[in-house]
Amino acid sequence: MSWHDAARNNEPAEDSALRTELQGMLGLPPDQQAGPSPTPESNALAQSLYREALRRRRTASAHKPRRTAFLLAAAAVPLFLAITGIGAWGVQQKLRADKMAAKALELETRQNRIDAAREASRSRHDLPALVAQEPQNTPAPASRPDSEPGSSDGELVKPEAPPAILKRQPDQYRVNDSR
32-66: per-residue pLDDT in tens?
A: 654 567 788 988 998 999 999 988 888 876 666 66
Of the candidates 46, 45, 18, 43, the one whose C-alpha atom is nearest the C-alpha of residue 31 is 18
Instruction: Tell me the mean pLDDT in the region 123-137.
Output: 62
Q: What is the pLDDT at residue 175?
A: 63
For position 56, what pLDDT does the model report?
Answer: 85
Could you tell me which residues come within 8 angstroms of residue 20 by beta carbon, excluding any fewer than 6 positions away?
A: 30, 31
Rounded-to-integer distance, Cα 30 and Cα 13, Å: 15
Mean pLDDT value across the chain: 77
From the number of C-beta atoms within 10 Å of its C-beta (0-12, 13-18, 19+), residue 19 rates as middle
pLDDT digits (tens, 9 = 90+) for 56-115: 888 876 666 667 888 888 899 999 999 999 999 999 999 999 999 999 999 999 999 999
- Please list, in sequence order, all residues whose beta carbon lies within 8 angstroms of the beta carbon of residue 8, skipping any fewer than 6 positions away: 1
Residue 174 has pLDDT above 70, yes or no: no
DSSP string, 106-175: HHHHHHHHHHHHHHHHHHHHHHHHHHHHS-SSPPPTTT-TTS-TT--TT---PPPPPPHHHHS-GGGGPP
